[in-house]
Amino acid sequence: MKKQSKGITLIALVITIIILLILAGISIVTLTNTGLFGKAKEAKDKSKNAQIEENIYLADYENEINKYINGSRQNNTDYSQYNDILKLLYSNAGEYQLPSTIESLINTPDIFNWVLNSQKNADYIISNPDIFMNNIINNPNAMECFGKNEYISKLAIKNKTWRTAILSSKYLEKFNLGATTVPTMTSNTSPEGEAFASKYETASSPYQCFDGNDATVGSIARPYTLNGYIGYKFTKKVIPYYVSILNYTDYNNYFSNIKIQASNDNNTWTDLTDVLDIPQSGWIYIKLEKNESYNEYQYIRIFQTTDKGAPYYAGAYTIQFYCK
């Protein structure tokens, strides 16, 4: 008898291959329909982007650490008393590398101006006069930057400690460069606001106290000097802190016993000073430090408290009100 051969026949092999192909097709369709390929690609992209962001952060941290180390190597300054402000400023410094001390920071105008433009920094500076005040009031450039920054200068003028120090500074005129003042007037109402007086004659209209000409005079008409006044109405409410007067020099026709007063309705007036017996000649500079001067007003005036006598006026060549 012939032996029967054992093994896989060609037909069986073909059938097996067909079955495998069918199963593979089903698997591919399933994977495609469920979006597994897309999800895998998305996960790969996210991983790549995360790595890029991580590298950027690491580079930034490395730069900040290097800047700090390099700055420390250049000097041996004790940072302990400045830790809070340096942290506050350094966190917002951007492209700037902060100087090592508060003094050098204030002496670097670009950085100091940047510091003042942050309200958070401004609040911190005003709240810490023991750290900043002496460096600022004794530096002409710092006083100018300080005065020209509307936000921090107004905070300072509303703060008793800062106002007293600023008014005592030999660089006050630098701070005043940023003050709100009476503009150069060409009439009682031009270019803006209003110059006013209790009684006046056309030849010595009140605006002439504010016309920028030290040879013209604005005065209270005779015989109305007792309780007479000359002043200015601002276009908005302001906080007055300083007054300058170039008094009239003609015999008895000058301001003498005066008060600086302010109002918001031109009716009820508040004394910003006590009675001041001011000299006849030269410039007079008046610091406003009474509590009432820390408020906002729209009208400010020079108030003559004594009678000059029937033949006499009471006036000045120039008056200026410095406000915030």
The secondary structure of residue 20, as a DSSP letter, is: H
* pLDDT over 70 (residue 43): no
pLDDT of residue 36: 56
Host domain of residue 207: 194-323
Q: Could you count the other beta carbons within 10 Å of the beta carbon of residue 301? A: 26
Q: Is 258 helix (H, G, I), strand (E, B) or coil?
A: strand
The four Cα atoms 312, 313, 319, 324 give a dihedral, to 10 degrees, of 110
* pLDDT over 50 (residue 233): yes
Listed in sequence order, the residues at least 6 apart from 308 whose beta carbon sits closer than 8 Å to its beta carbon are 222, 225, 226, 252, 253, 256, 314
Q: Answer with the one of 145, 178, 211 that is the final residue of a domain.
A: 178
My answer on whether 300 and 225 are in the same domain is yes
My answer on whether 173 and 101 are in the same domain is yes
Per mean pLDDT, which of 129-133, 134-138, 155-159, 308-312 is the most reliable?
155-159
Find out whether the peptide bond into 223 is cis, omega within 30 degrees of 0: yes
Q: Please give the average per-residue pLDDT across 33-50, as a whole number.
A: 59
My answer on whether 209 and 261 are in the same domain is yes
Distance (Å, whole) CA 153 – CA 159: 10
Distance (Å, whole) CA 202 – CA 221: 10
Tens digit of pLDDT for each residue in 71-99?
444 444 443 444 445 455 544 444 444 44
- pLDDT-derived band at 272, boundaries 50, 70, 90: very high
**β partners of residue 232:** 195, 300
Crossing angle between the packed helical segments 119-127 and 150-157, to the nearest 10 degrees: 20
Please, what sign has the CA dihedral across residues 306, 220, 232, 196?
positive
Domain count within the chain: 2
My answer on whether 199 and 223 are in the same domain is yes
My answer on whether 156 and 211 are in the same domain is no
My answer on whether 315 and 216 are in the same domain is yes
Q: Is 288 helix (H, G, I), strand (E, B) or coil?
A: coil
My answer on whether 209 and 305 are in the same domain is yes
Distance (Å, whole) CA 316 – CA 132: 38
Q: Mean pLDDT of all residues in the chain?
A: 80
My answer on whether 319 and 198 are in the same domain is yes
My answer on whether 106 and 171 are in the same domain is yes
Distance (Å, whole) CA 48 – CA 44: 6
